[in-house]
Amino acid sequence: MRLISKVRRTNFDIILQRLAGRATCELQPGAMLHSSARIRNARGDSSKILIGCHTRVLGDLSTFGHGGEIRIGEWCYIGEASRIWSAISIELGDRVLVSHSVNIFDSLTHPIGAAARHEQVKQIFEEGHPLSLSLDECPVRIHNDAWIGAGAMIMRGVTVGEGGIVAAGAVVTRDVPPYSIVAGNPAVLVRELSADER
């Protein structure tokens, strides 16, 4: 019994050592990380993930070793099982609602070529995220008061305009105009919001 206790304590100590000094994020006043939130900041610089005042994060925020920056405005919500993956820059304005199980990408996440992809994965397994890599990165911008529905995917280079709504399950590969709703795979314009819906 004592041996098991020592082994568990040793494993726990190892985990604590790995986490000590590891970059996480910067929280502004009133911001909160829920117990389900995960910060995977491979950049090693806590200033590269900024969470604005009164924002709640239940999902995952991740940067790559070679780059990535996540800026989330005030009074935002990042739902459980949602993941924001940045290799260059993802920015959310104020009052943005990201529902559950959303994925937001600003890169391809892996090289197109099989050999390069294998080398990237091998390096992640053996040494951590590569510090030099090209993943055809293109920034993502989600403006104030946007709503991203459950299970949606926002792909690299997309801008969601102010007050834009992305329907549940949509795959967004093109910009979303302000105060409009897009849906489908690939997402297409459904309609503009009326004056009283804005």
Is residue 18, in this structure, part of any structural domain at all?
A: no
Task: Provide DSSP, 44-104.
Answer: S-GGGEEE-TT-EE-SEEEEBTTB--EEE-TT-EE-TT-EEEESS-EEE-TT-EE-TT-EE
CATH of the domain at 77: 2.160.10.10
Give the SS3 label for residue 111: coil
pLDDT of amino acid 130 = 83
Q: Which residues of the chain have pLDDT under 50?
A: 1-9, 14-20
CA angle 103, 107, 112 (to 5 degrees): 115
User: What residues have CB less than 8 Å from 65, skipping those under 6 apart?
Assistant: 42, 43, 44, 128, 129, 130, 131, 133
What CA–CA distance (Å, rounded) separates 70 from 60? 11
Give CA separation, 84 vs 13, 15, 119, 143, in Å.
29, 24, 23, 15
Is residue 11, in this structure, part of any structural domain at all?
A: no
Identify whether the C-beta of residue 85 lies closer than 8 Å to the C-beta of residue 104: yes
Is residue 107, in this structure, part of any structural domain at all?
A: yes
Is residue 16, in this structure, part of any structural domain at all?
A: no
What CA–CA distance (Å, rounded) separates 56 from 104? 17
Report long-range pairs for 176-185 (Cβ below 8 Å, ≥24 apart).
176/146, 178/143
pLDDT of amino acid 22 = 59
Q: How many structural domains are present in the chain?
A: 1
Is residue 111, in this structure, part of any structural domain at all?
A: yes
pLDDT of amino acid 131 = 85
Is residue 10, in this structure, part of any structural domain at all?
A: no
Active site residues: 110
pLDDT of amino acid 187 = 97
Is residue 7, in this structure, part of any structural domain at all?
A: no
pLDDT of amino acid 13 = 52
pLDDT tens-digit profile of 126-147?
888 888 888 899 999 999 999 9
Is residue 3, in this structure, part of any structural domain at all?
A: no
Structural domain boundaries, residue 63? 23-197
CA Rg value for the chain: 19
pLDDT of amino acid 195 = 87
